[in-house]
Chains A and B, each alone.
Chain A
Amino acid sequence: MNAPLKPSASLRQRLRLQLLGLIAILSLLLYFSVRTIAGGAAETTQDNILSASATSIIEALHAEQDDILLDIPYAALSMLGANSEERVFYRIMTKASTITGYDDLPAPETFPAPEQPVFYNSEYRGSAVRIVAMTRVITVRDTPTEVLALVAQTRLGQDAITARIANTAAALGVGFFLIAGILGALTVESALRPIVNIAQAVQRRGPHDLRPMLKPAPLELAPLLASLNSFMERLRTALLRTEDFIAEAAHRVRTPLATVRAQTEIALRRAKTPEDREALRAVIRAVDESARSAGQLLDHASVTLRADKMERGDVDLSALVKDLVHGLAPTAEIRDIRIILHPAEGEFTTIGDPVLLMGALRNILDNAIKYSPDESEISVVLSAEEELCCITICDSGRGLNDAEQKTLTRRFGRGSNVADVVGSGLGLTIVSEVVAAHGGSFRLTPNKERGTCAKVCLPRK
């Protein structure tokens, strides 16, 4: 009827992607902040020890006459080895020369101000080192002299700590991402559940179910549901009106047609010449066809528009089929076509609307007669298959000419090989809709040698 709606984008997908993106950003933030904060703390710890060491060295500096003397306290260097196995270097220097220690230990360009130690990273003897530079002014020979103390420590432990922190931070980040991701996915599901529920409820009802939705809906969806309900109500009214209109129209057409037919038959009886008689018979055939079309329109309208109002009662299919064959036998006889109803054992009861079912089966048998040659046979078989009871009507007529069932059951769909036969293309549409409304199936297949088999199966009571 209409092409399947192409969704613009999945709400769920979008929510998930956005949440995931958000969580990923948060995880990265977490990772980097843990790294910087913890890494900074670790570095601060090392800096503190270096600074304490440099302070104790610089405090041991003293001038004696013309010399700067230094008695490095044991603790100054031993404290650096207290919790680590880092290599330790130091250098005590004035602007002019190195007083003691490693005279190639890298020093800053300018001496930092006293009381303001400077920390920096460098490379010394093949290892990355952290260095503190601390200045003290002491008076030698009445001249204030700046003395710089450098204390350095390798950064192996620092690097190990940084690596460990990075690992921990990464684990934290990944853990956060996973947990938040799972919670996020659950949240998306629970947020979408009402929408999904309503969508499913709408989907579950048949295409013709236009009753209002009475499910409780969340606040945000209530307007949508209200609009949907009011829309369905309007649609229903419009459809009912259309149906009434069609029924009325069909009825209005059929009544005068019946009069025309009756009058023509009288005229036929009085007609003298064979030409007149032939002409009048053609009139009768055309009138019949028109009446049938009007009937089909009426049937079609009642099936499509009243599925929800369908009568549901026990229908004895064997009686129904018997009536059907009986009703159409005269029409078939005109063309010397024999309808053979094969006797069936057992009960064939289904639940549904007998009038609609009769209409559907009549259309099938009608087609069989219409598309059969004169003096041929049509078989009608009633059979039970598991939970189903099936009616198979086979003719040996012109066949389907490889046309697909889908195109033939389409409204006003007709085969390419039936241009010479008058028809509306509504018959099979009615059949498939009635059968679907009863929860059954309908198959058109080629007959064994020639012709067509139509099989309708309905759930057994």
Chain B
Amino acid sequence: MRQSLPATKIVGAILAILALAAGPPRAFEIETEQYFAAVDGSSEITIMSTADLSVFAPLVRGFQNRNPRVSVRYVVLSSAELYSAVLAGEAAPDLVISSAMDLQTKLANDGFAQPFRSQATETLPAWARWRDELFAFTLEPAVLILSKPAFADLPRPKTRQDLIELLRDNPERFKNRIGTYDLRTSGLGYLFGTQDTRQSETFWRLSEVMGALQTRLYCCSGQMIEDVRSGELALAYNVLGSYADAQDESNVDIVLLEDYTSVMMRTALIPNSAKNAQLAGTFINYLLSTDGRALLRAEIGPGPLDTDTFSSEQNLRPIRLGPGLLVYLDQLKRQSFLRAWASAIIQP
């Protein structure tokens, strides 16, 4: 599904690199930046996002098809960097798209977001928006992925309890072949981990068992999926399902655990410092439009407006937007949580 890079994209990338070289030092680090120049670029918006360029490029183009005079600067950076970029108010983005629901909530809670109301946002279910400032547009489950060859003669675990028993019964097979997020560095991993502790105590037991098997810690879902596919890992826990879906699946099984599966929602917000809040609103409307949703479904999976998702899957637990998410951002809470987690997962 990856197409060859069109000429404009290459030019944009070169421009972006030039701009990077020339620009003043920033308070945050970016990963990639691409400028989608409009033919008649009379206006411009800057989107800062944690989503890979490859995932979002089709959406930006789709948006530009509808709004041909808008140039889009798409900047990819980590959720923590994105958070500090908004706090700094520097090189102010017009639209912030992040998978870190907690940080997004904190931005809105602390008064860095501005409200936006439209027909599209009104149709969002109440759990998919907060204060008219934070809008969810995807539903991305945390999944367990299994290497098919490694599980050739093993039953597929259906619940975390199954998984714990499986790991306990086959330590030699899984030793050093389990992957999960390093919660100390990955915001998304931390979000999934903390949500796990809310759901059930099995998370701590699972971490203990995984720790005993020298679990490898990762920064990102992509690398984990890659290692499961190559057979280096037998399984990876709490991988972003949307990324797993996008990969070649011949070697990999995706399991939505039946006891519960946390569902992350990617959210968009318009910062107070946005220069072009109106266009940012237009982009949000596009994300929630039928066209936008169709593209998102192809790249990431269903969104909150795809209503039948939840009625069919009882075990899906969307992470709730709201002040509860602020709890895990508390420094003391974070410290004590990470201490407990590290002592479970890192065993000599």
Query: Which A residues form the contact surface with B (CB < 8 A)?
Result: 69-78, 80-81, 85-89, 99-101, 125-127
**Contact partners of A73 in chain B: CB under 8 A:** 327
B332 interface neighbour in A70, A87, A127, Cβ under 8 Å? A70
A81 touches B322 (CB 8 A): yes
Q: Which 5 A-B residue pairs are closest in the complex by CB-CB distance?
A: A78-B324, A81-B322, A88-B323, A81-B323, A77-B323
Task: Tell me which of B109, B111, B323, B324 has the highest count of chain A C-beta atoms within 10 A of its own C-beta.
Answer: B323
Which residues, 298 to 345 on B, are CB-close (under 8 Å) to A?
A: 320, 322-324, 326-328, 330-333, 336
- In the complex, what distance in Å separates the CA atom of A40 from the CA atom of B132? 28
Residue of chain A at shortest CB distance from B195:
A74
- Interface residue SS majority, chain A: mixed
A126 touches B111 (CB 8 A): yes
A88 interface neighbour in B198, B326, B331, Cβ under 8 Å? B326
**Contact partners of A86 in chain B: CB under 8 A:** 323
- In the complex, what distance in Å separates the CA atom of A188 from the CA atom of B323? 60
Query: A81-B322, A125-B110, A127-B111 in contact; A76/B336 too (CB < 8 A)?
Result: no
Query: Which B residues form the contact surface with A (CB < 8 A)?
Result: 108-111, 130-132, 198, 320, 322-324, 326-328, 330-333, 336
Query: A85-B130, A100-B331, A101-B330 in contact; A69/B323 too (CB < 8 A)?
Result: no
A87 touches B330 (CB 8 A): no
Residue of chain A at shortest CB distance from B111:
A125
B198 touches A74 (CB 8 A): yes
Provide a sorted-by-A list of 11 A–B residue pairs whose CB atoms are within 8 angstroms.
A69-B332, A69-B336, A72-B332, A72-B333, A74-B328, A76-B327, A77-B323, A87-B110, A100-B333, A101-B330, A127-B111
A74 touches B110 (CB 8 A): no
**Contact partners of B333 in chain A: CB under 8 A:** 70-72, 100
- In the complex, what distance in Å separates the CA atom of A123 from the CA atom of B288? 35
**Contact partners of B130 in chain A: CB under 8 A:** 85
- In the complex, what distance in Å separates the CA atom of A46 from the CA atom of B132? 21
**Contact partners of B332 in chain A: CB under 8 A:** 69-72, 99-100
**Contact partners of A87 in chain B: CB under 8 A:** 108-111, 131, 323
- In the complex, what distance in Å separates the CA atom of A125 from the CA atom of B198? 30
**Contact partners of A88 in chain B: CB under 8 A:** 109, 323, 326
Given A87-B109, A100-B333, 17 additional A-B pairs, CB 8 A: A69-B336, A71-B332, A71-B336, A73-B327, A74-B198, A77-B323, A78-B324, A81-B320, A81-B323, A87-B108, A87-B111, A88-B326, A99-B332, A100-B330, A100-B332, A126-B111, A127-B111
- In the complex, what distance in Å separates the CA atom of A77 from the CA atom of B109? 12
B331 touches A77 (CB 8 A): no
**Contact partners of B109 in chain A: CB under 8 A:** 87-89
Distance in Å from the Cβ of A183 to the closest Cβ of chain B? 45
Query: A77-B326, A78-B320 in contact; A85/B131 too (CB < 8 A)?
Result: yes
- In the complex, what distance in Å separates the CA atom of A125 from the CA atom of B190? 28
**Contact partners of B323 in chain A: CB under 8 A:** 77-78, 80-81, 86-88
Distance in Å from the Cβ of A32 to the closest Cβ of chain B? 32
**Contact partners of A69 in chain B: CB under 8 A:** 332, 336
**Contact partners of A75 in chain B: CB under 8 A:** 324
- In the complex, what distance in Å separates the CA atom of A69 from the CA atom of B332? 7
Residue of chain A at shortest CB distance from B340:
A71
**Contact partners of B326 in chain A: CB under 8 A:** 77, 88
**Contact partners of A71 in chain B: CB under 8 A:** 332-333, 336
- In the complex, what distance in Å separates the CA atom of A73 from the CA atom of B323? 12
Residue of chain A at shortest CB distance from B194:
A74
A72 touches B330 (CB 8 A): yes
- In the complex, what distance in Å separates the CA atom of A121 from the CA atom of B74? 42
Task: Tell me which of A74, A89, A101 has the highest count of chain B C-beta atoms within 10 A of its own C-beta.
Answer: A74
- In the complex, what distance in Å separates the CA atom of A88 from the CA atom of B324? 9
- In the complex, what distance in Å separates the CA atom of A118 from the CA atom of B148? 60
Distance in Å from the Cβ of A421 to the closest Cβ of chain B? 99
Distance in Å from the Cβ of B103 to the closest Cβ of chain A? 15
Distance in Å from the Cβ of B123 to the closest Cβ of chain A? 17
